[in-house]
Amino acid sequence: MSVADVCRSARRASRALAQADTAVKDAALHAIAAALRANADEILAANERDVAAGRENDIGEALLDRLRLDPGRLEEIAAAAERIAALGDPVGEVIDGHRLPNGLDVRRVRVPLGVVAVVYEARPNVTIDAAALCLKSGNACVLRGSTSAAASNQTLSRIAAAAAVDAGLPEGAIGILAGGGREELAELATQSRDVDLIIPRGGEGLKNALEAVATVPVIYAAAGNCHVYVDARADMRMACEIVINAKTQRPGVCNAAETLLVHEAIAADLLPLLLPQLAERGVEIRADERALALAARDGASRVAPASEEDWSAEYLALTLAVRIVDSAQEAIDHIAEYGSGHSEAIVTRDAAAARHFQRAVDASCVYVNASTRFTDGGEFGMGAEIGNSTQKLHARGPIGLRELCTFKYLVDGDGQIRR
């Protein structure tokens, strides 16, 4: 099917989906989870073909990690669909309401957006996460993954679509595109008659490509240049644990920390303790002059001078930029200059400093004494997410069920006319 055909089919399906009962949608999600488990061998074989091709094309370990499925990861994908089924249905939820002086009853209720297109790179789990979130929120979806995961995505979407139809949802509710080149992306981005929203998950290149051509509204789940700031009154053991987790737990994802900011009052004690632990885990440090001097004094390995480009880099790898700052305000100013609005963290025992950091830092998620790795729809109790929005309109942070809805006003009267 052409891009236009897939989108038209999704539009037709969206009309039925908007009226589907919660029980039918939940049954479809459980059927999808069961189908994934029943067809695990086929899915993993398709994924292995993608992984082998990725190795041949030398896409790098971070992208291979994002691409790779195993029985545990596949089970987590199936379980995520079931968790979404267990969530409350946002469709029809009354947001607010009131009675006008003329007797009209006005209610504002959640309704599906209609057709949501999701564009993503090298993450097969997004195929099911996005489909499950869209179906539960009453939306049809058009999925466009990358060529690096083509076999995985085609297999997952085919199995999920068949299970959803067997459970009573309309044909076309889950549409998949081939993952072709920029021409296909541009065609999708201009299907304004049949697509209500595009959500891209990827780097700045994908964002720029869409900005140049899109006539369909876009919510960008874009890059994550995330920071951890260790304040003067931080617990050093806690700071080490948070920084190591934020950087190394899974470095190839958008909520991993890319820059460490350290207050000068604690730097001489913290960095000699922290840098060797990072080095043990294979982390390369890009340090400013003061941090570099401390590292050299203590013989730290895998440390190099930072360049200006390092402060704005989303490494998605075991690389961490480190800068010493003279105050919390300097850390806040650094984040304002170089941050991407994704996730920022402060480690401190100073309650006033923590509150000031949370108020002053402009990001979708701001943490006190916790890792940035928690910015995730599943961790936030949303079941799963389509992405993390760094924008400020409609949706910000993890994009879950309610973020896939708009609203309309329902007005009940008893013969009122306007005079």
**Cβ density class 345-380: b for 16+ within 10 Å, e for less:** bbbbeeeebbebbeeebebbbbbebbbbbbbbbbee
Nearest of 246, 222, 234 to residue 321 by alpha carbon: 246
d(CA 256, CA 259): 9
Identify the residue whose tokens are 């038209």: 8
| Alpha-carbon span 30 to 39, nearest angstrom | 14
CA–CA distance, 193 with 115 (Å, rounded to integer)? 10
Residues 263, 269, 270, 274, CA torsion sign: positive
What residue type is assigned to position 389 of the chain? S
C-alpha to C-alpha distance for 181 and 171, rounded to whole angstroms: 26
d(CA 170, CA 17): 7
Contact 111, 87 (CB under 8 A): no
Model pTM? 0.86
- Nearest of 228, 175, 221, 197 to residue 366 by alpha carbon: 228
CA 2 to chain centre: 28
* Structural domains of the chain, with CATH: 3-221+386-412 (3.40.605.10), 226-374 (3.40.309.10)
Q: Is the CB of residue 163 less than 8 Å from the CB of residue 32?
A: yes
Q: In DSSP terms, which residues pair with 388 in a beta bridge?
A: 398
CA 367 to chain centre: 17
The tens-digit pLDDT sequence of the chain (419 residues) is 899 999 999 999 999 999 999 999 999 999 999 999 999 999 999 999 999 999 999 988 878 988 999 999 999 999 999 999 999 999 999 999 999 999 999 999 999 999 999 998 878 999 999 999 999 999 999 999 988 999 999 999 999 999 999 999 999 999 999 766 788 999 999 999 999 999 998 777 888 888 889 999 999 876 789 999 999 999 999 999 999 999 999 998 899 999 999 999 999 999 999 999 999 999 999 999 999 999 888 777 789 999 999 999 999 899 999 999 999 999 999 999 999 999 999 999 999 999 999 999 999 999 999 999 999 988 998 877 888 898 888 899 999 999 999 999 999 999 999 99
Residue 273: the pLDDT is: 94
Q: Which residues make beta-bridge pairs with 411? A: 106
CB–CB of 416/114 below 8 Å?
no
